[in-house]
Protein backbone atom coordinates (compact mmCIF):
# COMPACT_ATOMS: atom_id res chain seq x y z
CA UNK A 1 0.00 0.00 0.00
CA UNK A 2 1.50 3.29 -1.13
CA UNK A 3 -0.07 6.59 -0.08
CA UNK A 4 0.76 9.97 -1.57
CA UNK A 5 -0.07 12.92 0.69
CA UNK A 6 -0.20 16.34 -0.97
CA UNK A 7 1.22 19.05 1.27
CA UNK A 8 1.15 22.79 0.82
CA UNK A 9 2.75 25.71 2.64
CA UNK A 10 0.35 28.46 3.78
CA UNK A 11 0.52 31.54 5.97
CA UNK A 12 -0.61 30.95 9.54
CA UNK A 13 -4.29 31.86 10.08
CA UNK A 14 -3.32 34.72 12.37
CA UNK A 15 -1.00 36.31 9.75
CA UNK A 16 -1.72 39.83 8.65
CA UNK A 17 -2.92 39.81 5.06
CA UNK A 18 -1.40 42.61 2.97
CA UNK A 19 -0.21 43.00 -0.60
CA UNK A 20 2.70 44.67 -2.41
CA UNK A 21 3.68 45.57 -5.99
CA UNK A 22 0.44 47.40 -6.75
CA UNK A 23 -1.64 44.76 -4.93
CA UNK A 24 -0.38 41.98 -7.19
CA UNK A 25 1.74 40.07 -4.66
CA UNK A 26 1.05 38.72 -1.18
CA UNK A 27 3.25 40.57 1.31
CA UNK A 28 5.37 37.85 2.93
CA UNK A 29 7.08 40.21 5.37
CA UNK A 30 6.76 38.85 8.89
CA UNK A 31 4.50 36.00 7.81
CA UNK A 32 4.68 32.77 9.79
CA UNK A 33 4.44 29.78 7.43
CA UNK A 34 2.76 26.55 8.40
CA UNK A 35 1.76 23.28 6.77
CA UNK A 36 -1.74 23.78 5.42
CA UNK A 37 -3.80 22.45 8.37
CA UNK A 38 -6.08 20.31 6.21
CA UNK A 39 -3.01 18.63 4.68
CA UNK A 40 -1.33 18.15 8.04
CA UNK A 41 -3.96 17.44 10.69
CA UNK A 42 -6.33 15.46 8.59
CA UNK A 43 -4.72 13.86 5.54
CA UNK A 44 -1.16 13.31 6.74
CA UNK A 45 -2.13 12.22 10.25
CA UNK A 46 -4.76 9.80 8.88
CA UNK A 47 -2.13 8.32 6.54
CA UNK A 48 0.22 7.92 9.53
CA UNK A 49 -2.53 6.17 11.47
CA UNK A 50 -3.00 3.73 8.59
CA UNK A 51 0.74 3.05 8.64
CA UNK A 52 0.64 2.47 12.40
CA UNK A 53 -1.99 -0.22 11.85
CA UNK A 54 -0.16 -1.78 8.92
CA UNK A 55 3.62 -1.38 8.84
CA UNK A 56 3.76 -2.22 5.13
CA UNK A 57 2.10 1.11 4.27
CA UNK A 58 4.52 3.52 2.59
CA UNK A 59 3.81 7.27 2.82
CA UNK A 60 5.27 9.77 0.39
CA UNK A 61 4.55 13.47 0.50
CA UNK A 62 4.56 15.82 -2.45
CA UNK A 63 4.63 19.57 -2.53
CA UNK A 64 4.84 21.99 -5.43
CA UNK A 65 6.87 24.95 -4.29
CA UNK A 66 10.19 26.76 -4.15
CA UNK A 67 13.16 25.92 -1.89
CA UNK A 68 11.52 27.98 0.88
CA UNK A 69 8.93 25.22 1.34
CA UNK A 70 11.58 22.77 2.62
CA UNK A 71 11.31 23.69 6.34
CA UNK A 72 7.58 22.92 6.10
CA UNK A 73 8.28 19.57 4.43
CA UNK A 74 10.79 18.66 7.15
CA UNK A 75 8.15 19.48 9.73
CA UNK A 76 5.68 17.22 7.95
CA UNK A 77 8.29 14.45 7.80
CA UNK A 78 8.81 14.87 11.56
CA UNK A 79 5.19 13.81 12.08
CA UNK A 80 5.75 10.65 10.05
CA UNK A 81 5.93 9.39 6.49
CA UNK A 82 8.84 7.92 4.61
CA UNK A 83 9.99 10.44 2.06
CA UNK A 84 9.05 13.71 0.40
CA UNK A 85 9.18 15.03 -3.12
CA UNK A 86 9.32 18.73 -3.93
CA UNK A 87 8.45 19.85 -7.44
CA UNK A 88 10.40 23.02 -7.92
CA UNK A 89 7.82 25.61 -9.02
CA UNK A 90 6.13 28.67 -7.53
CA UNK A 91 2.99 28.46 -9.67
CA UNK A 92 -0.34 29.47 -8.13
CA UNK A 93 -2.48 27.97 -10.91
CA UNK A 94 -4.39 24.92 -9.64
CA UNK A 95 -4.28 23.06 -12.95
CA UNK A 96 -0.53 23.51 -13.31
CA UNK A 97 0.03 22.28 -9.75
CA UNK A 98 -2.37 19.35 -10.24
CA UNK A 99 -0.55 18.37 -13.43
CA UNK A 100 2.74 18.19 -11.47
CA UNK A 101 1.18 16.08 -8.73
CA UNK A 102 -0.49 13.81 -11.30
CA UNK A 103 2.91 13.22 -12.91
CA UNK A 104 4.43 12.21 -9.54
CA UNK A 105 1.37 10.04 -8.87
CA UNK A 106 1.69 8.20 -12.18
CA UNK A 107 5.40 7.57 -11.70
CA UNK A 108 4.98 6.35 -8.12
CA UNK A 109 2.01 4.03 -8.69
CA UNK A 110 0.14 5.06 -5.55
CA UNK A 111 -2.93 3.24 -4.26
CA UNK A 112 -4.27 6.27 -2.48
CA UNK A 113 -3.83 10.03 -2.79
CA UNK A 114 -4.82 12.33 0.06
CA UNK A 115 -5.22 16.09 -0.27
CA UNK A 116 -6.52 18.66 2.19
CA UNK A 117 -10.01 19.99 1.37
CA UNK A 118 -8.49 23.39 0.46
CA UNK A 119 -5.52 25.58 1.30
CA UNK A 120 -5.86 28.50 3.68
CA UNK A 121 -4.42 31.00 1.19
CA UNK A 122 -6.15 30.55 -2.18
CA UNK A 123 -9.11 28.47 -0.93
CA UNK A 124 -9.34 26.68 -4.27
CA UNK A 125 -10.59 23.20 -3.23
CA UNK A 126 -9.52 22.07 -6.70
CA UNK A 127 -6.35 19.99 -6.53
CA UNK A 128 -7.98 16.70 -5.49
CA UNK A 129 -10.57 16.73 -8.27
CA UNK A 130 -8.03 17.73 -10.89
CA UNK A 131 -5.48 15.10 -9.84
CA UNK A 132 -8.25 12.48 -9.84
CA UNK A 133 -9.23 13.43 -13.39
CA UNK A 134 -5.64 13.53 -14.62
CA UNK A 135 -4.94 10.08 -13.14
CA UNK A 136 -8.38 8.70 -14.13
CA UNK A 137 -9.16 7.75 -10.52
CA UNK A 138 -12.39 8.00 -8.52
CA UNK A 139 -12.56 10.98 -6.17
CA UNK A 140 -14.29 11.47 -2.86
CA UNK A 141 -14.16 14.99 -1.50
CA UNK A 142 -14.62 16.58 1.93
CA UNK A 143 -14.03 13.31 3.76
CA UNK A 144 -14.57 13.29 7.51
CA UNK A 145 -13.82 9.58 8.05
CA UNK A 146 -11.74 7.06 6.16
CA UNK A 147 -11.35 3.33 6.76
CA UNK A 148 -9.62 0.69 4.75
CA UNK A 149 -10.51 -3.00 4.38
CA UNK A 150 -8.07 -4.64 2.00
CA UNK A 151 -8.24 -2.46 -1.10
CA UNK A 152 -11.75 -1.12 -0.46
CA UNK A 153 -12.11 2.23 1.28
CA UNK A 154 -15.18 3.28 3.22
CA UNK A 155 -15.39 7.05 3.32
CA UNK A 156 -17.79 9.41 5.05
CA UNK A 157 -18.11 12.70 3.24
CA UNK A 158 -19.87 15.97 3.95
CA UNK A 159 -23.01 16.81 2.02
CA UNK A 160 -25.35 19.73 2.59
CA UNK A 161 -27.18 19.16 5.85
CA UNK A 162 -25.51 15.89 6.71
CA UNK A 163 -23.14 13.21 5.55
CA UNK A 164 -22.94 10.37 3.09
CA UNK A 165 -21.09 7.06 3.38
CA UNK A 166 -19.55 5.66 0.22
CA UNK A 167 -17.37 2.73 -0.77
CA UNK A 168 -14.71 2.80 -3.41
CA UNK A 169 -12.09 0.36 -4.62
CA UNK A 170 -8.55 1.75 -4.69
CA UNK A 171 -6.78 3.48 -6.32
CA UNK A 172 -8.65 6.64 -5.36
CA UNK A 173 -8.16 10.30 -4.51
CA UNK A 174 -9.67 11.64 -1.27
CA UNK A 175 -9.80 15.23 0.00
CA UNK A 176 -9.76 15.41 3.78
CA UNK A 177 -11.21 17.69 6.41
CA UNK A 178 -11.96 17.82 10.10
CA UNK A 179 -12.95 14.50 11.61
CA UNK A 180 -10.43 12.35 9.70
CA UNK A 181 -7.86 12.44 12.50
CA UNK A 182 -6.78 14.46 15.50
CA UNK A 183 -4.00 17.02 15.41
CA UNK A 184 -0.56 15.76 16.47
CA UNK A 185 2.61 17.51 17.52
CA UNK A 186 5.93 16.09 16.29
CA UNK A 187 8.11 14.59 19.03
CA UNK A 188 11.89 14.90 19.32
CA UNK A 189 12.44 11.43 17.86
CA UNK A 190 10.37 12.37 14.83
CA UNK A 191 12.20 15.66 14.38
CA UNK A 192 15.59 13.89 14.50
CA UNK A 193 14.42 11.18 12.09
CA UNK A 194 13.05 13.77 9.67
CA UNK A 195 16.52 15.25 9.17
CA UNK A 196 17.73 12.17 7.36
CA UNK A 197 14.55 11.20 5.50
CA UNK A 198 14.88 11.62 1.73
CA UNK A 199 13.59 14.91 0.29
CA UNK A 200 13.86 14.66 -3.47
CA UNK A 201 13.68 17.72 -5.68
CA UNK A 202 12.41 17.38 -9.23
CA UNK A 203 11.85 19.95 -11.94
CA UNK A 204 8.26 20.51 -13.15
CA UNK A 205 6.93 18.87 -16.30
CA UNK A 206 5.47 21.07 -19.03
CA UNK A 207 1.89 22.08 -18.22
CA UNK A 208 -0.33 25.06 -18.96
CA UNK A 209 -1.49 27.59 -16.39
CA UNK A 210 -5.18 28.12 -17.13
CA UNK A 211 -5.69 31.09 -14.81
CA UNK A 212 -3.65 34.03 -13.54
CA UNK A 213 -4.14 36.34 -10.57
CA UNK A 214 -4.58 39.90 -11.84
CA UNK A 215 -4.57 41.60 -8.44
CA UNK A 216 -5.81 41.43 -4.86
CA UNK A 217 -8.23 43.61 -2.90
CA UNK A 218 -8.84 43.99 0.80
CA UNK A 219 -12.48 44.06 1.91
CA UNK A 220 -13.87 47.47 2.83
CA UNK A 221 -13.44 48.16 6.54
CA UNK A 222 -16.49 47.59 8.71
CA UNK A 223 -18.18 50.82 9.74
CA UNK A 224 -17.90 49.80 13.38
CA UNK A 225 -20.30 48.02 15.67
CA UNK A 226 -23.56 49.67 16.71
CA UNK A 227 -24.12 48.72 20.32
CA UNK A 228 -27.65 48.31 21.62
CA UNK A 229 -28.50 48.31 25.32
CA UNK A 230 -29.20 44.84 26.72
CA UNK A 231 -32.45 46.18 28.21
CA UNK A 232 -33.64 47.35 24.80
CA UNK A 233 -33.62 44.30 22.50
CA UNK A 234 -36.61 45.79 20.62
CA UNK A 235 -34.19 48.37 19.24
CA UNK A 236 -31.94 45.60 17.85
CA UNK A 237 -34.96 43.96 16.22
CA UNK A 238 -35.96 47.32 14.71
CA UNK A 239 -32.44 47.90 13.34
CA UNK A 240 -32.21 44.41 11.88
CA UNK A 241 -35.63 44.77 10.29
CA UNK A 242 -35.58 48.39 9.06
CA UNK A 243 -31.93 49.32 8.65
CA UNK A 244 -30.15 46.05 7.82
CA UNK A 245 -33.26 44.45 6.27
CA UNK A 246 -31.90 41.14 7.49
CA UNK A 247 -35.05 39.83 9.23
- For 129, phi then psi, to 5°, come to -60, -40
Segment 57-76, which members bind another protein (CB under 8 A)? Answer: none
The answer to whether 52 contacts another protein (rule: CB under 8 A) is no
Q: Which is nearer to another protein, 11 or 65 (by Cβ)? A: 11
Instruction: Out of 55, 159, 188, 206, point to the residue binding another protein (CB under 8 A).
Output: 159
Distance (Å, rounded) from C-alpha 16 to C-alpha 196? 34
Detail the DSSP E strand segments found in 53-192.
58-65, 83-88, 112-116, 139-149, 152-159, 162-169, 172-176
The answer to whether 125 contacts another protein (rule: CB under 8 A) is yes
32: which DSSP letter?
P
Q: Which is nearer to another protein, 128 or 190 (by Cβ)? A: 128
Minimum distance of another protein from residue 179's CB (angstroms): 6
40, 51, 223 from 47: Cα distances, Å: 10, 6, 46
Instruction: Out of 7, 9, 11, 60, point to the residue binding another protein (CB under 8 A).
Output: 11
Q: Give the strand pairing for 172-176 and 139-149.
A: parallel
Instruction: Out of 21, 149, 160, 203, point to the residue binding another protein (CB under 8 A).
Output: 160
Distance (Å, rounded) from C-alpha 128 to C-alpha 37? 16
- For 188, phi then psi, to 5°, come to -60, -40
The answer to whether 77 contacts another protein (rule: CB under 8 A) is no
Minimum distance of another protein from residue 108's CB (angstroms): 19
Minimum distance of another protein from residue 200's CB (angstroms): 25
The answer to whether 226 contacts another protein (rule: CB under 8 A) is yes
User: Cβ(79)–Cβ(186) under 8 Å?
Assistant: yes
Minimum distance of another protein from residue 37's CB (angstroms): 6
Distance (Å, rounded) from C-alpha 165 to C-alpha 177? 15
Q: How many residues are recorded in the chain?
A: 247
User: Cβ(86)–Cβ(110) under 8 Å?
Assistant: no
Stretch that binds another protein, among 50-58, 79-87, 103-111, 205-213 (CB under 8 A): 205-213
The answer to whether 166 contacts another protein (rule: CB under 8 A) is yes
Minimum distance of another protein from residue 46's CB (angstroms): 14
Q: Which is nearer to another protein, 109 or 219 (by Cβ)? A: 219
Stretch that binds another protein, among 54-62, 63-71, 76-84, 217-225 (CB under 8 A): 217-225
List Cβ neighbours of 118 (8 Å cut-off, separation of 6 or more): 38, 124, 125
- Write the interaction track for another protein spanning residues 14-43; mark x where CB under 8 A is met and - where it is not: x--x-x-----------------xx--x--
Minimum distance of another protein from residue 168's CB (angstroms): 5
Amino acid sequence: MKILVCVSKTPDTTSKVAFTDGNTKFDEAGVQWIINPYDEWYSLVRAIELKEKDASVVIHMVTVGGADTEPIIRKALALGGDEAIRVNSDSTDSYYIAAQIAEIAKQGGYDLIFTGKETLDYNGSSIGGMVAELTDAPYISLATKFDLEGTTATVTREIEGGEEVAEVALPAVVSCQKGMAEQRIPNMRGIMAARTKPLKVTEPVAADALTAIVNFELPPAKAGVKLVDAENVEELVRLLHEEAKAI
